[in-house]
Amino acid sequence: MNSNVKTSFHAFPLNDPQLMTEWLRRIRREHYAPTKESRLCSAHFLESDFISTSQDSNTRRKRKRNAQLSLRVLRKGAIPSVFPQLPERLQPMASTSRTESATAELRHQAESDRLETAASEFLSLDKVGSLEEIKTMLESNPIPVGFVPVFGADSIAFCLIDVEDVPNLVCSIQNLLALAKSWGIPDPNPRSAEAKWIEAAIDCLCNLLEESNDSATPLMQQIQFIVEQLRLRCQAKEARRYSPGLIVFAMVLKSTSSACYQVLLDQDLLVLPSVRRLTAISSPLIDYSSGSIVGMQEANPASTMLCFMVKSIAGKYRDVVALFPLSKLTAEILHEHYTSVMGMLQRTNLNVVTILVDNHSANRAFFVHKLCGGILQTCVPHPFHREKKIFLLFDPTHTIKNVYNNFQKRQSLELPAKDSAFFNVPLPHVKRTADSLIVAKFENIKELYNLEQDKPLKLAPKLNSSVIDPKSIQKTSPKLALAVFSESTAHALEYYSANQGKPWGDTATFVHAVTQLWKVLNVKTSSIGKHKRDCCRDPVRSDTDWKLTYLADVANYLREWKACRSKGLSDETFLALSHTLDALVEVCRYLLNSLMFEYVLVGAFQSDPLEGRFGWYRHRKGLNYYVSCKDVLDAAKDLHSESSDLMEEAGQIADQLNLIEEIEAADANVTYYVAGKIAKSITAQRSCTACNQLLVATPDESAAEAPSDFLRQLDRGGLTNPSDLVFTICKEAWVIIMQLQRCQRFLKSRKSHGSFCCALGCSNNSSMSPAVSFHFFPKDTEMKRKWLVALRRKEFKPSATTQVCSVHFAESCFKEQLAGFLPTTRRRLYPNAVPSIFPTLPDRLQPVEKKRKTATAAAAAAQEVDFAAFLKAPECSKTKAQPTDTEADEPEQPLQELHA
């Protein structure tokens, strides 16, 4: 910078966000937000960044052209680059301006010019003027072995002499020019002789493999391995693609001996994947078992699991029918697996009504391009039964979660203030025009949380810090969305807006509208509306139900909101929500009219069962959140085998049941008493006369053979005589229970999801490990803390039902519990017992046992210290120290055993 020039100050480019970002990056001030008054002096700019002379093109002005400016002006796009006070590591890197030759068009032009120059040089060297020049060239360049040149007056002939046969003329003057060219100019892209021989060997071996009838023989497998090795040898390292079989072979070698595998890589005897490649492949989703890798797709590690679950709309049946490990999910892959699964379901006579997916981009592309032909529709024909319809839905839970994420990310949403069923409450009393907007601000939610944060009683108790400022992993949970879009939050916003003058009316209207929509979409039982006394939670019972009209009206409002181009939801969320509402209206009418449903539960069209099933899988594999593909497949196989065994055994028992078996008189009297209790409890809740007559009988009406002696002895006027129907049902139920008690396997399998161990990596449960006992956490705070420290689980909070199995306790931690004179099979822990055995944990996480020093150990340690000092002292004689009389008379202290 010129010292004679006066320092000038320049404002920040606030109107140019891109240039502003570059200025802030060069200044290196963290969290700095410049204002309109902020300035940067000219000392931080180069001299070339300024316009110092006038560039006025108006000749009529009296001022001189190209005169020096009195006020220095920055050039457009100037960036500060001079900061002498900053250390060298923070100095901005000098950026070179992009030359004109850096564009793609000019690079292609330069490459074309270079090729033309090389071609012209080649043609200049390719000229043959006379035979004398060819003779001179033959003298300086050797010819192939076996050829003999024959020079004539006006020709040159090349002969190949064969000693076993007569000489033959193989070349004459006609192709002499081509031979001369091959000697004079080399091939621009030569291939080595080794590569040509390798390609020839590959072709021969491939022909052998094609001609072979059995490719599973050891010889054919060896040939396949050799062919792959030869092909990989001819490829560059970056372009090599290893087959799954070779990856399995490499992983077995590496797991057997890492040093041996490294020696093979260093000596380059085989073309194998690098250690880094194998480490990348060995992701948490991949596992090696029984000679094969689970979790690979076309030699690429799987990053996700594609799961297909079938769920009954009218019942509780749900089951996973297919699991596919995938490295990348695309619409083509999804359509391929969808076709195979639909064919399997068609063969099992399952009637598929809807397809439910989340709002992933691959799922949207699958719906639009693969099923609907480019335009999204609410239903498509069945791929194997064209007369049937399949309705396409996006998961409502996932969509409501996206509404919350849009609201939290954009901080404010602008909704058109139009009369719609979406706003089923009166709008705030504000003068609005036809083009006015409802502005919902997430800042109002924050203010409500901060207002009630320290209060013991809150109007919005569901709000917490995670709802206000969620982490990335927390945004995947719908609990945050349901905390904002809840009745308590909506009513709290309305209360403070009406009674304390808070400007939260628009936000309360938006929250209340989304809450109302979610209540209509989340009806999962037929009686929830009656219990909650809320008509929004009643099931849809007819095609003219007001809830169907409401959903259609909300879908139309969402399309109008998107068309007005105000600050709203993302296009993907608009599409998914409006499409789902339209499809739900059509599928409800289809079920009511075509399939003759009595009512439809809209909450049945959700993906919660799929999330719950994966929770089962993680539970069965030691409560690990990140499970491998093999763990998921094994857990699914176990559940299927247990269910199939249970159904098969239940069918056998049902065939063997003898419902006409007579019961003993004592059991019959007790059954008659229980039947009367059941009839009384049912009639007490209902005032129906027909029900009372069906379930209850007077003492005179009861059958004479009915075992009512026990009831009459206990009756003081308040007991009930059951009817013959109720007594017969109770008696047959008792017969079934007595016969089922003979099948312990059936009763045990009913408890297939009993107690689980919460230790990390432990998969013990009460159904699969009957010899293992399970123990609850202690109620004492200090002992509970010791258990948590021993478990080594970060941020783990046990519930009232969390248990630890007996495998993690030493035998000395248990005591025998006596019942009378016989020991029981139930094992109990001592009050001070702490888990200490964790075979699945790595060594660095194993609990360290602290041993207390005894008196004898302390004396031995002191003696070792004195002996070491004796060796270091040069003036002392190295003789054994004699004990004093006091030490000799003291008795030896026994070593004590300490139990944790």
Neighbours of 259 (CB within 10 A): 7
296 pLDDT band, cuts 50/70/90, is: low
Phi then psi for residue 674, to 5 deg, are: -65, -40
Does the pLDDT at position 346 exceed 80? yes
The mean pLDDT value for 769-793 works out to 87
Q: Are 498 and 491 in contact (CB under 8 A)?
A: no
For residue 698, give the 3-state DSSP assignment: coil
**What mean pLDDT comes out for the span 559-573?**
88
Q: Mean pLDDT check: name the lowest of 162-176, 233-247, 388-402, 833-847.
A: 162-176
Query: Has residue 524 been placed in a domain?
Result: yes
Domain of residue 20 covers 9-55+67-90
Question: Tell me, what's the pLDDT at 54?
Answer: 65
Mean pLDDT is lowest, of 363-372, 489-498, 812-821, for 812-821
SS3 state at 462: coil
Residues 416 and 430 in one domain: yes
Which of 126-130, 358-362, 598-602 is least confident?
A: 126-130
Asked, for residue 605, whether it belongs to a domain, the answer is no
pLDDT number for residue 879: 37
Distance between the two ends of the chain, CA-based, in angstroms?
A: 76
The model's pLDDT over 308-328, given as tens digits with 9 standing for 90+, comes to 999 998 888 888 888 888 878
Cβ–Cβ under 8 Å, residues 402 and 481: no
* pLDDT reading at 519 higher than 60: yes
The verdict on 429 and 506 lying in the same domain is: yes
**Do 215 and 320 fall within a single domain?**
no
**pLDDT in the model for residue 890:** 37
From residue 156, how far is each of 79, 149, 504 by CA, in Å?
Answer: 73, 7, 103
pLDDT at 493: 93
Round to whole Å and give the CA distance between 490 and 139: 100
- Residue 298 pLDDT > 50, yes or no? yes
Residue with tokens 């319809």: 389
pLDDT band at residue 140 using 50, 70 and 90 as cut-offs: low
Asked if residue 897 belongs to a domain, the reply is: no
User: Model pTM?
Assistant: 0.54
Per the CB < 8 A criterion, the answer to whether 547 and 517 are in contact is no
Estimate to the nearest angstrom the gap between the alpha carbon of 657 and the chain centroid: 47
- H or E element, residue 432: none
In this structure, are residues 321 and 327 in contact, taking their beta carbons and an 8 Å threshold? no
Largest CA distance in the chain: 146
The three-state (H, E, C) secondary structure of 28-45, written as one string: CCCCCCCCCCCEEEHHHC
Distance between alpha carbon 122 and the CA centroid of its chain, in Å? 60
What is the reported pLDDT for 816?
A: 64
- Taking CA atoms, 312 is separated from 352, 354, 397, 606, 767, in Å, by 9, 11, 18, 12, 27
Q: Quick check: 1 pLDDT over 90? A: no
Specify whether 463 is located in the same domain as 528: yes
Assigned token pair, 883: 């004990």
Of the candidate ranges 335-349, 514-528, 579-593, 785-799, the one whose mean pLDDT is the lowest: 785-799
Q: How many other CB atoms sit within 10 Å of the CB of residue 362?
A: 18
Residue 304's contacts (CB-CB under 8 Å, 6 or more residues apart) are 285, 325, 326, 329
- Per-residue confidence at 225, pLDDT binned at 50, 70, 90? confident
Residue 152 has pLDDT above 80, yes or no: no
Q: Which amino acid is at 404?
A: Y
Give the distance, in angstroms, between the CA of residue 176 and the centroid of all CA atoms in the same chain. Answer: 69
Query: Would you say 53 and 68 are in contact if contact means Cβ atoms under 8 Å apart?
Result: yes
pLDDT for the residue 601 = 93
Statement to judge: residues 210 and 352 lie in one domain: no
Question: Could you tell me the pLDDT band of residue 276, with boundaries at 50, 70 and 90?
Answer: confident
Half-sphere exposure of 301 (CA within 13 A, CB side): 14
| Pairing label, strands 803-805, 774-776 | antiparallel
- 226 within domain boundaries: yes
The pLDDT tens digits for 435-462 are 678 899 999 999 999 999 888 889 999 9
pLDDT for res 765: 80
> Using the 8-state DSSP alphabet, how is residue 705 labeled?
T
Over the stretch 205-220, which tens digit does the pLDDT of each residue have? 888 888 777 767 888 8
Q: Encoding tokens for residue 346?
A: 């068609």
In a domain, 798, yes or no: yes
Report, as an integer, the average pLDDT of 549-573.
Answer: 90
In a domain, 348, yes or no: yes
- Asked if 366 contacts 356 with a C-beta cutoff of 8 angstroms, the reply is no
Beta strands 721-722 and 412-416 are: unpaired
Q: What is the pLDDT of residue 289?
A: 57
The pLDDT mean for the chain works out to 77
Do 423 and 542 fall within a single domain?
yes
Mean pLDDT, residues 469-476 taken together: 85
- Collapse the DSSP code of 703 into the 3-class scheme (helix H, G, I; strand E, B; otherwise coil) and give the result: coil
331 Cβ contact partners less than 8 Å away, ≥ 6 residues apart: 362, 365, 366, 369, 370
Residue 125 to residues 116, 264, 520, Cα–Cα distance (Å): 14, 49, 86
Residue 576 has pLDDT above 90, yes or no: yes
Checking if the pLDDT of 112 tops 70, the result is yes
User: Which of 247, 249, 223, 359 shows the shortest CA–CA distance to 297?
Assistant: 247
The pLDDT tens digits of the residues spanning 60-76 come to 555 555 556 667 788 88
pLDDT score of 515:
93
Using DSSP's 3-state secondary structure scheme, residue 848 falls into: coil
Q: Where are the alpha helices (DSSP H) in 126-191?
A: 131-140, 176-184
Q: What letter does residue 897 receive in the DSSP assignment?
A: P
Query: 175 vs 377, which has greater pLDDT?
Result: 377
Per cent of the chain over pLDDT 70 is 72
Between the CA of residue 197 and those of 192, 194, 200, 517, what are the distances in Å?
Answer: 9, 5, 5, 72
Same domain flag for 413 and 539: yes
Is residue 618 scored above 90 in pLDDT?
no
C-alpha to C-alpha distance for 76 and 51, rounded to whole angstroms = 10
Confidence bin at 822 (pLDDT 50/70/90): very low
On whether both 729 and 798 belong to a single domain, the answer is: no
Q: Render 52-78 in DSSP notation, one character per residue.
A: EE-----TTSSSPTTPEEEEEEEPTT-
Other beta carbons within 10 angstroms of residue 81's beta carbon come to 15
Angle between helices 608-620 and 629-656 (to 10 degrees): 100
Residue 364 pLDDT level (bands cut at 50, 70, 90): very high
Decide if 110 is inside a domain: no
Average pLDDT (332-342) is 92
- Is residue 269 within a helix (H) or strand (E), and if so which, with residue range? none
Q: What is the mean pLDDT of residues 673-687?
A: 84
Say whether both 414 and 278 belong to one domain. no
Instruction: Output the pLDDT for position 234.
Output: 83
The per-residue pLDDT for 172 is: 43
How sure is the predictor about 577, in pLDDT bands with cuts at 50, 70 and 90?
Answer: very high
Residues 411 and 533 in one domain: yes
pLDDT of 874 higher than 50: no
Please provide the DSSP assignment of 495-549 as one string: HHHHHS--S-HHHHHHHHHHHHHHHHHT--STTHHHHHT-GGGSPB-STT-HHHH
- Name residue, tokens 């109770």: 730
DSSP three-state, residue 709: helix
627-636, 769-778, 884-893: lowest mean pLDDT where?
884-893
Query: Per residue in 734-763, pLDDT tens?
Result: 887 777 766 655 554 444 456 788 888 787
Non-local CB neighbours of 385 within 8 Å, separated by 6+ positions: 346
Lowest mean pLDDT among 50-64, 226-240, 688-702: 50-64
What would the pLDDT profile of 665-675 be if each residue is shown by its tens digit?
A: 778 888 888 88
Residue 219 lies in a domain: yes
CA atoms within 13 A of residue 769's CA, in its CB half-sphere: 14
d(CA 197, CA 195): 5
Q: Do residues 75 and 174 both lie within one domain?
A: no
What's the pLDDT at 179?
46
| Cα–Cα distance for residue pair 158/166, rounded to 1 Å | 15
Of the pLDDT bands very low, low, confident and very high (cuts 50, 70, 90), residue 508 is very high
331 and 389 share one domain: yes
Higher pLDDT, 192 or 97: 192
At residue 443, the pLDDT reads 94
Residue 825 in this model has a pLDDT that exceeds 90: no
- List the single range of 243-252, 290-299, 416-425 with lowest mean pLDDT: 290-299
pLDDT value for 572: 92
* Domain count along the chain: 7
Could you tell me which residue, 126 or 630, shows the higher pLDDT?
A: 630
Q: Is 80 exceeded by the pLDDT of residue 650? A: no
Helix axes 487-499, 505-521, angle to 10 degrees: 160
Buried b / exposed e over 93-124, threshold 16 CB at 10 Å, is eeeeeeeeeeeeeeeeeeeeeeeeeeeeeeee
pLDDT at 404: 93
Residue 653 binned pLDDT confidence (cut-offs 50, 70, 90): low
